[in-house]
């Protein structure tokens, strides 16, 4: 399905489109850091302006109680299906800042890549969707499908206001499918469709020892050390076999079928290349499962940060008053974040050593997603990817979390197709995040092709 | 042994003496933080000036390669014994700064206390020794003993240059006893003489995982998390019974005799008051030993600080690239810091999980001290304390470390008596460090009385 006018238009507007994308990347819309609330609003306003300019209608920077949700639609394709396309304009924090090759909000274009925080996750997918709609409207005066854009600003901080907003706006969100545009390609930058996404349960553990830091000589030996106590709690959460030891943790995990294990085993994975890329002495994980399964089909528990006592240069011989850790579990279908948090909290309280006071606080969560391979939008998207990228996509279980994917199913009752064009090694959530500009440009064509495919085959 | 002229002089000069002490406290001579090197030198210069003004001779700010050592002497007591008195003018770091009631280097005088970093440890003892010598010289024109002052500036950062300096200056340091003035009173502010000091072995553990922080969804499950790994290492160092599990750790510990256990049991200790003061749910420690024994007569292992990953507000779903911990072991006679570090390093490397790279670095150490109760200077000091404070001193094993005490024995071959007037709950190494001014003033009388006592009875 080639469209000469569309292609001519896209080529002619490439430079302007890149400039707009770079402007978008210059806004430090870090949702998880309160000081950046104004930047998040600025990103929303800029996005809304771009949507209006592109020909979208009913553009609305919608208040949520947190960072706003940007809504826009185009609903003149009478008789055609309606696609709700979701993305997020917020980004992860940037530290450790000194590991970036360039300031994270001063994008650099080099060797076909754009380097900046948010370059892939998720400002690439938003910019691609905007460009696809804009080009179709510009060249045809119309879209082949009805389209609703929902771009939130809190995905990187647990999407706390999205579910209430979806519930409150369900009437104006009627659609045939939710296209969750927050994913990417498989290793080797192979076209891929994400059929599984992990959920998330986040918690903080706070350990209190003495009322303040005290002398480790005067009191050492007579009281529990909060850091030692926290270490023993964390160590107790996982066995040497990589299995999580929290009672009930695995209760609701849907067993992998033999067929899916075979399908996952067929996904290309060069373990030695991955090991070298990450620069670790060995890949390790839960015994009894392959690396592919561990990354996408099995739940995990990772400490994301730990702090307590003296971390400056030199030494300070204290027993610290406090120690803290941030922990996230990645969940798989059908684990429920609230139940997992409760299991975690109960177990931490159970194994906490005497002599300290321990508190476990939930800091967010999201449900996992598991999508059928054969739903119409997924099939249409697979055909569009093959037509534009020249290769049939892989169907993968992604290790990351897009909890909102589950929200569109549970709140709006929509089938969900997860899509996106991020390069698999694009350093999202890490220093030196980057986007592949070939993926970006071809992605625009793929998404336009998907709209045509889905309009032509809405039921198969 | 009352000395009316001395007392009259001390009363008349109290205000000026306090002002000098406060000026000394205003210098942030934090030896462990390189930015404060200039402050350490300033403290040394000020101290040298005060020693000259007090009538001490051969005052020398002696280069060491690190912070200087201040030397001074008065050697005109022909036929009398020679006392080498040691103290340190450097102080601990001050964080967490927000827990201080006032800026740590802007001393406050209130309710008979002086609050400032270093107010007790160890600028009180230095100031007391200076005042005692000054008052004796001012009122008698002479000291009853020959006196050498050695004031170092690196006690709080492992005294790295002191031993070489002692060895290099042994010829000019001839003495009959080393009086190590870096200790204090017992709980309840009871006069005390420290007969045991713990040693120290300090180390840092550095754990390297992936080359940088990476996405905990994309990679979680497939690689070891450096914080989880560090927690399991730390947890492996001690058992739930409080016993340190490092092979060989206890090999060289001198067993406590039944007599000393009885003596230690006789020391007053209100455990519930201690628990409430520290605000911990329970006192806990190595099974089989009393709290007094755990604090003074048994070795310990404490994590002084831990850091890695994201510790800011909000969440960041990463597997961090690095995790770090600072650890110190308090040692008892006859544990050797170098051997203990080697045992620690070997065991950490042995229990480190696969999938990460671990490095263990020594960051200093010092030998423990155990002093006979009946050596002449100790007995003279006990009599001086009883005469001035009105109560016979307790003989205690102090949990803290003054590694230099062992250095005077091993390098100069001197008997060592550990002394000092710090209040036992003076928050040294912690926020809101303070000094009891009654201890300070009576301490000057006690030290003057000691010089007389020791001159009169140098051999018994």
Mean pLDDT on B220-245: 97
Stretches in chain A below the pLDDT threshold 70 = 1-2, 460
Is residue B136 assigned to a domain? Answer: yes
Contact A211 B279 (CB under 8 A): yes
Residue A64 is encoded by which pair of tokens?
Answer: 């949520």
Model confidence over A117-139: pLDDT tens digits? 999 999 999 999 999 999 999 99
Nearest by CB to residue A304, choosing from B34, B316, B424, is: B316
State the pLDDT at residue B1. Answer: 46
Judge if B171 and B235 occupy the same domain. no
Is residue B178 assigned to a domain? Answer: yes
Q: If DSSP states are collapsed to H, E and C, what string results for A176-206?
A: CEEEEECCECECCCECEEEEEECEEEEEEEE
Closest chain A residue to B157 measured between Cα atoms? A315
How many Cβ atoms from other residues are within 10 Å of residue B376's Cβ? 18
Closest chain B residue to A219 measured between Cα atoms? B295
Give the end-to-end CA distance of chain B in Å, rounded to a whole number.
18
CA distance B109 to A291: 64
pLDDT at B146 over 90: yes
A267 touches chain B (CB under 8 A): no
Which chain B residues in 341-400 lie under 8 Å from chain A, judged by CB atoms?
353-357, 363-364, 398-400
Is residue B211 assigned to a domain? Answer: yes
Is residue B372 assigned to a domain? Answer: yes
- At A403 the three-state DSSP class reads helix
Is residue B11 assigned to a domain? Answer: yes
Is residue B236 assigned to a domain? Answer: yes
Taking Cα atoms as reference points, which of A179, A176, A181, A182 lies closest to residue A75? Answer: A176
Judge if A48 and A124 occupy the same domain. yes
Farthest CA pair distance, chain B: 80
Residue B341 is encoded by which pair of tokens?
Answer: 């570090």
Expressed in percent and rounded to 5, the helix, strand and coil fractions of chain B are 35, 25, 40
Judge if A165 and A53 occupy the same domain. yes
Residues of A in contact with B300 (CB under 8 A): 216, 220-221
Is residue B105 assigned to a domain? Answer: yes
Instruction: Work out the minimum CA distance from A298 to partner chain B, whole angstroms.
Output: 8
- The answer to whether the CB of A366 falls within 8 A of the CB of A336 is no
State the pLDDT at residue B329. Answer: 97
CA distance A159 to A148: 19
State the pLDDT at residue A2. Answer: 59
Judge if A114 and A49 occupy the same domain. yes
Nearest by CB to residue A354, choosing from B282, B298, B330, is: B282
Residues 6+ apart with CB under 8 A from B43: B24, B27, B29, B89, B90, B153
pLDDT at B266 over 90: no
The rounded Cα B3 to chain-centroid distance in angstroms is 32
B250 touches chain A (CB under 8 A): no
Report residue B37: phi and psi, to 5°: -60, -40
Q: Which of A311, A341, A366 is the last residue of a domain?
A: A366
Residues of B in contact with A225 (CB under 8 A): 302-303
The CATH number that applies at residue B153 is 3.40.630.10
Closest chain A residue to B225 measured between Cα atoms? A302
Q: Which of A313, A347, A366 is the last residue of a domain?
A: A366
State the pLDDT at residue B303. Answer: 98
Judge if B43 and B178 occupy the same domain. yes
- The answer to whether the CB of B445 falls within 8 A of the CB of B10 is yes
Judge if A229 and A303 occupy the same domain. yes
Residues of B in contact with A238 (CB under 8 A): 228, 232
Judge if B155 and B171 occupy the same domain. yes
Contact B319 A326 (CB under 8 A): no
Percent of chain B at pLDDT exceeding 70? 99
Residue B132 is encoded by which pair of tokens?
Answer: 């005692």
Judge if A147 and A183 occupy the same domain. yes
The residue among A116 and B372 whose pLDDT is bigger is A116
The rounded Cα A303 to chain-centroid distance in angstroms is 18
Residues 6+ apart with CB under 8 A from B66: B31, B153, B154, B160, B161
The DSSP secondary-structure symbol of B30 reads B
Judge if A151 and A8 occupy the same domain. yes
H/E element, B71: strand B69-74
- The answer to whether the CB of A75 falls within 8 A of the CB of A57 is yes
- At B438 the three-state DSSP class reads helix
Residues of B in contact with A214 (CB under 8 A): 278, 427, 429-430
Residue A254 is encoded by which pair of tokens?
Answer: 């849907």
Is residue B116 assigned to a domain? Answer: yes
pLDDT at B98 over 60: yes
Residues of A in contact with B100 (CB under 8 A): none
Nearest by CB to residue B213, choosing from A283, A315, A430, is: A430
Number of domains composing chain A: 3
Residue A189 backbone zone (phi > 0: left; psi -120 to 50: alpha; other: beta): left
**Residue A24 burial (10 A CB sphere; 0-12, 13-18, 19+):** buried
Judge if B12 and B60 occupy the same domain. yes
Which residues constitute the domain of residue B19?
4-197+368-456
How many Cβ atoms from other residues are within 10 Å of residue B49's Cβ? 12
Judge if A423 and A329 occupy the same domain. no
CA distance A314 to B349: 23
State the pLDDT at residue A144. Answer: 98
Q: Which of B319, B343, B365 is the last residue of a domain?
A: B365
Contact A209 B280 (CB under 8 A): yes
CA dihedral B46, B48, B50, B56 (to 10 degrees): 180
Mean pLDDT on B201-213: 97
Model confidence over A445-456: pLDDT tens digits? 999 999 999 999
Judge if B66 and B175 occupy the same domain. yes
Contact A300 B216 (CB under 8 A): yes
The CATH number that applies at residue A206 is 3.30.70.360
Contact B328 A314 (CB under 8 A): no
Residues 6+ apart with CB under 8 A from B123: B21, B24, B25, B89, B91
Mean pLDDT on B251-279: 92
Closest chain A residue to B203 measured between Cα atoms? A315
């Amino acid at each position: 399905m080639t469209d000469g006018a569309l292609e001519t238009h896209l080529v002619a507007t490439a430079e302007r489109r890149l400039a707009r994308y770079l402007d978008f990347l210059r806004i430090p819309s870090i949702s998880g850091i309160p000081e950046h609330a104004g930047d998040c609003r600025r990103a929303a306003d800029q996005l809304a302006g771009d949507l209006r300019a592109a020909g979208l209608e009913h553009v609305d920077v919608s208040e949520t109680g947190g960072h706003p949700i940007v809504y826009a639609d185009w609903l003149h394709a009478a008789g055609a299906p309606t696609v709700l396309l979701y993305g997020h304009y917020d980004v992860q924090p940037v530290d450790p800042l000194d590991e970036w090759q360039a300031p994270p909000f001063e994008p650099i274009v080099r060797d076909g890549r754009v380097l900046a925080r948010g370059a892939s996750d998720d400002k690439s997918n938003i910019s691609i969707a905007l460009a696809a709609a804009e080009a179709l409207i510009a060249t045809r005066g119309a879209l082949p499908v009805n389209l609703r854009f929902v771009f939130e600003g809190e995905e990187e901080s647990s999407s706390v206001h999205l579910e209430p907003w979806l519930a409150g706006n369900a009437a104006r969100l009627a659609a045939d499918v939710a296209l969750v545009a927050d994913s990417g390609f498989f290793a080797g930058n192979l076209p891929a469709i994400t059929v599984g996404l992990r959920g998330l349960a986040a918690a903080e553990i706070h350990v209190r020892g003495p009322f303040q830091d005290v002398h480790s000589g005067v009191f050492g030996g007579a009281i529990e050390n909060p850091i030692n106590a926290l270490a023993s709690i964390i160590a107790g959460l996982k066995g040497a076999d990589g299995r999580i030891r929290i009672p009930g943790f695995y209760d609701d995990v849907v067993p992998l079928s033999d067929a899916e294990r075979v399908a996952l085993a067929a996904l290309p994975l060069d373990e030695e290349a991955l090991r070298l890329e990450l620069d670790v002495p060995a890949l390790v994980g839960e015994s009894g499962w392959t690396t592919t399964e561990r990354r996408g089909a099995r739940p995990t528990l990772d400490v994301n940060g730990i702090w307590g006592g003296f971390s400056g240069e030199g030494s300070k011989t204290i027993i610290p008053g406090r120690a803290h850790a941030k922990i996230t579990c990645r969940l798989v279908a059908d684990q429920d974040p609230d139940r997992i948090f409760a299991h975690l909290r109960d177990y931490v309280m159970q194994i906490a050593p005497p002599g300290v006071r321990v508190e476990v606080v939930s800091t967010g969560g999201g449900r996992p997603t598991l999508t059928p391979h054969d739903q119409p939008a997924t099939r249409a998207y697979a055909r569009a990817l093959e037509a534009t990228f020249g290769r049939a996509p892989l169907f993968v279980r992604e290790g990351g979390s897009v909890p909102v994917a589950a929200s569109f199913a549970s709140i709006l009752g929509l089938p969900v197709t997860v899509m996106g064009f991020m390069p698999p090694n694009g350093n999202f959530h890490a220093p030196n995040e980057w986007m592949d500009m070939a993926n970006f440009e071809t992605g625009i064509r793929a998404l336009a092709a998907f709209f045509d495919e889905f309009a032509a085959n809405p039921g198969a």
